């Protein structure tokens, strides 16, 4: 009786000398695994970025317009502002059309002491920074308030201590009265 067998040729059988490659639809499995790992990492990065951008948007728009003890205000009812929330607060003031409240100091003289010749557009008593230093936010610029509300633009903002521009400021250097100074871009109403 003759045995049926298969003959192996060197062309078809390598004798186990090389790794066996598997593929799915002609694509090597290793390449599919690498693509899946990269996709998972990108998904995690995008989820983290979305969470962070949503959290910072909620944080920056947290100041309440009329609530005396609402979010963004301290126990005295003063808005708590920092460099990161200053632009939002100035925009809120411009949108609300606030008029200049009475002050315990001469705000015009305060700006003059700071070397600033602009007119004051809006001002607000604030708590500045993480230590909530009592101060005043002075929004000033070369334009009037109505033009700013209608067209938007760049205005200057200066945060000063309450002794700025007052006679009881004594011999204090005007630069020591300034907590922050810079420019803020305002959108039109």
Domain boundaries, the chain: 23-60, 80-186
Looking at the chain, the number of H-run helices and the number of E-run strands are 5, 7
Question: What Cα–Cα distance (Å) separates residue 8 from each residue in 1, 15, 93, 159?
Answer: 21, 10, 88, 89
Per-residue confidence band for 102, with pLDDT thresholds at 50, 70 and 90: low
Overall average pLDDT of the 115-137 stretch: 90
User: pLDDT tens digits, residue range 61-83?
Assistant: 333 333 343 348 888 888 999 98
How far apart (Å, rounded) are the C-alpha atoms in residues 74 and 71? Answer: 8
pTM: predicted TM-score of the whole model, two decimal places:
0.59
Name the residue among 168, 181, 172 with its Cα closest to residue 104: 168
- The better pLDDT of the pair 104, 140 is held by 140
């Amino acid at each position: 009786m003759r045995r049926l067998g298969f003959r192996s040729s060197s062309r078809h059988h390598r004798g186990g000398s090389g790794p066996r490659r598997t593929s799915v639809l002609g694509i090597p499995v290793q390449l599919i695994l690498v693509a899946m790992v990269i996709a998972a990492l990108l998904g995690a990065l995008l989820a983290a970025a979305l969470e962070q951008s949503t959290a910072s948007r909620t944080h920056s728009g947290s100041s309440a317009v009329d609530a005396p003890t609402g979010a963004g205000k301290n126990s005295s009812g003063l808005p708590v502002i920092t460099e990161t929330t200053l632009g939002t607060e100035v925009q809120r003031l411009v949108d609300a059309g606030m008029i200049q409240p009475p002050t315990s100091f001469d705000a015009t003289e305060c700006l003059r002491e700071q070397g600033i010749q602009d007119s004051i557009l809006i001002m607000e008593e604030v708590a500045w920074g993480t230590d909530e230093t009592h101060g005043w936010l002075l929004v000033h610029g070369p334009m009037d308030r109505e033009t700013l509300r209608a067209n938007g633009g760049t205005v200057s903002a200066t945060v000063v201590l309450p002794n700025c521009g007052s006679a009881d400021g004594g011999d204090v250097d005007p630069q020591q009265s300034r907590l922050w100074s810079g420019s803020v871009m305002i959108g039109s109403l």
